[in-house]
Structure 1
């Protein structure tokens, strides 16, 4: 009798646990129909990988966008979408950055540029003057920082500034350093002019994942920990500020069995790479205390389109996993195909804005950048 009671208690415990897990999986992202549209100049060619929102000291909100072909940063009023002004960066002379390769803006006092001509970050002010040059250098363990860091929205790897140190990411460049010796992030002390390699390396990936030729990831800081989302791994990696404490959490999409396939470098490469199953960028929503992880199920693309250079418009098919602050999956929303540019988004107190500029099938104009607002809701949509 006692054994029967124990067995029944165990069954009830398992049932409650499953019910709790089932109840957690109950949130979705719902389209509101509210759209923000930002006008682009005729000399701007669409590439929104370098786009950020921020506030000034009075609370006014802005959207900033780098037109890297002309070394210009465009500023818009985020609320009204009105164009405000351009910041023209010099190419030559004492304040010249030559050619911008990426940028990040925290506020008007912290505008950081990367350049093809300089191995480091360049901080500029709103009069286009160079305020500070931050060289990458060599770490205390002899690792030479790869000069290809380009702060961007996709992959989502803006620099993180903590106590006078700037944390930047590193690419897996086997021609310079083996995966097990290449840190995912390095910390640059802007006061002491020293560079520190953090202990978490690309050795965290399996041999199979390394052979996929896709070691890309996104990285965020949630105020306490760094969070990494690799494109070829369903796990996310949570690391302490100094990266001495690391844990992995499985965040599996219901639309992907496993990230598969090897990135191709052939004539058909661009098309094939946009068809592969992959995970994507992960971002934090501090207003709702949730995380959004973009997911790319395997898909098929049209053969009558030349796919070179089309990756700026995102993937045809994607979903977004929603995680609570304990990194538990509480929902996953599958989006309609060929409407949204899943690589371009921003989090706002109103909700999550995702670009509507897929542009591959319906010939949308490149004269605008458009974003639709999605609300986090409980239940089906």
Structure 2
């Protein structure tokens, strides 16, 4: 369970609060992963998979076009296979992976999902997939999907459940939330896609303009085969069945959250940066199937300095906390 690495470095806010929990109650161990000459230092896309009876940290190495598997007990590199870039079965422009089991390793491609690959543990290509989309509109063929640790893809019963990131402009359109489609489902046997049109953004998003990242959501699949969704800019978390019909909404608020500034006017880049950095928000949700717990990460607000050099990783300078909830969503 890789999240223990992140928990071990959890920052504290300047205004410590009485409900904080010592990280050692949850930390099992930490891990140093040694790098070799072909390793990638950017762990943008990774997953945890069980192979030969042991859990492995599996990295999509975009620098050397490989899948690298590390032993979670000692950090050693145990296996590496190339993702083909040429020949009869190339898998190009990779953007995510999913470990279903040791012989079902999905490597996803960007936007068109063109020829994404299913590999076994030795790198043999089991199948290649490209969705059949019967539409004359080129926009319908594009899927700005995510398969990252924060916004993962799930496999269940021959279906891949993807999160769909927007290619529209939430910074300037107050009606964005009404039309945003947040999920799509890929049917592997048919190589076809359906968009989940009925999954709506929370009601407190309505009529708002927002930073791009606030339009994202993190989801988890629990043991009851429910999807639990945490929107970046909502204090609540939402429980859905496998067809994304809403079952319940639960307050999963950080005690450091002061709510969200509701803007309706077009946002400049500077104002978008200010809103992102200066508001406590929720970039990740994890379900721990070992302890039957949820971990909801919160980026804690800090003062915005207009003279600071801002980039897409600036929120990583914010302190963060982890909200722990039991399987019934009681805050522990």
Give the alignment's TM-score, normalised by structure 1: 0.68
Partners of 1:83 and 1:270 in 2: CA distance: 38
Alignment of 1:125-136 (within 5 A): 125-136=120-131
**1:186 and 2:184 are equivalent in the alignment:** yes
Aligned counterpart for 1:170 among listed residues 151, 164, 170: 164
Alignment of 1:43-122 (within 5 A): 44-56=39-51, 58-116=52-110, 118-120=112-114, 121-122=116-117
Shift of 1:172: 2.9
Choose which of 20, 28, 37 in structure 1 pairs with 2:21: 28
Counterpart secondary structure, 2:301: coil
3-state secondary structure, aligned to 2:145: coil
Q: Give 1:302 shift.
A: 7.7
1:314 is the counterpart of 2:316: yes
1:35 Cα deviation (Å)?
2.4
Give distance in 2, aligned partners of 1:275 and 1:178.
22
**Looking at CA atoms only, which structure, 1 or 2, has the larger radius of gyration?**
1
SS at 1:66's partner residue? strand
The 2-side partners of 1:269 and 1:211 are apart by: 7
Are 1:179 and 1:201, in contact at CA under 8 Å, matched by a contact in 2?
no
Distance (Å, rounded) in 1 between the aligned partners of 2:43 and 2:95: 13
Equivalents in 2 of 1:241, 1:227: separation in Å? 10
Give SS of 2:33's match. Answer: strand
Q: Which residue is equivalent to 1:251?
A: 252
Question: Which SS does the other structure have where 2:23 is aligned?
Answer: strand
1:241 maps to which residue? Answer: 242
C-alpha distance 83-46 of structure 1, shift in aligned 2 (>3 A): same
**Cα deviation per residue 1:74-123 (whole Å; 9 max; x = unaligned)?**
11111121122322212122121123222222322121112247425422
Give the gaps of 5 or more residues in structure 1. Answer: 1-24, 331-381
**CA–CA distance in 2 between the matches of 1:139 and 1:185?**
19
Deviates further, 59-68 or 196-205: 196-205
Deviation at residue 265 of structure 1 after TM alignment = 6.6
**Which structure exhibits the higher relative contact order, with contacts defined as CA atoms closer than 8 Å and separated by 6 or more residues?**
1
Deviation for aligned residue 1:33: 8.7
Are the counterparts in 2 of residues 136 and 147 from structure 1 also a CA contact under 8 Å? no
Is this contact kept in 1: 2:238–2:246, CA < 8 A? no
SS in 2 for 1:329: coil
Which structure 2 residue ranges, 5 or more long, are not aligned? 1-17, 170-174
1:151 paired with 2:144, answer no
- Quote the offset at 1:180 in angstroms: 3.6
Q: Supply the distance in 2 between the matched residues of 1:309 and 1:204 (Cα, whole angstroms).
A: 24
- Length-normalised TM-score, structure 2: 0.77
Give aligned pairs, total.
Answer: 300
Equivalent residue number for residue 325 of structure 2: 323
Q: Would the aligned equivalents of 1:151 and 1:159 in 2 still touch at CA under 8 Å?
A: yes
Q: 2: CA distance between counterparts of 1:74 and 1:284?
A: 24
CA–CA distance in structure 2, aligned partners of residues 293 and 122 of structure 1: 31
- Conserved in 2, the CA contact under 8 Å of 1:293 and 1:322? yes
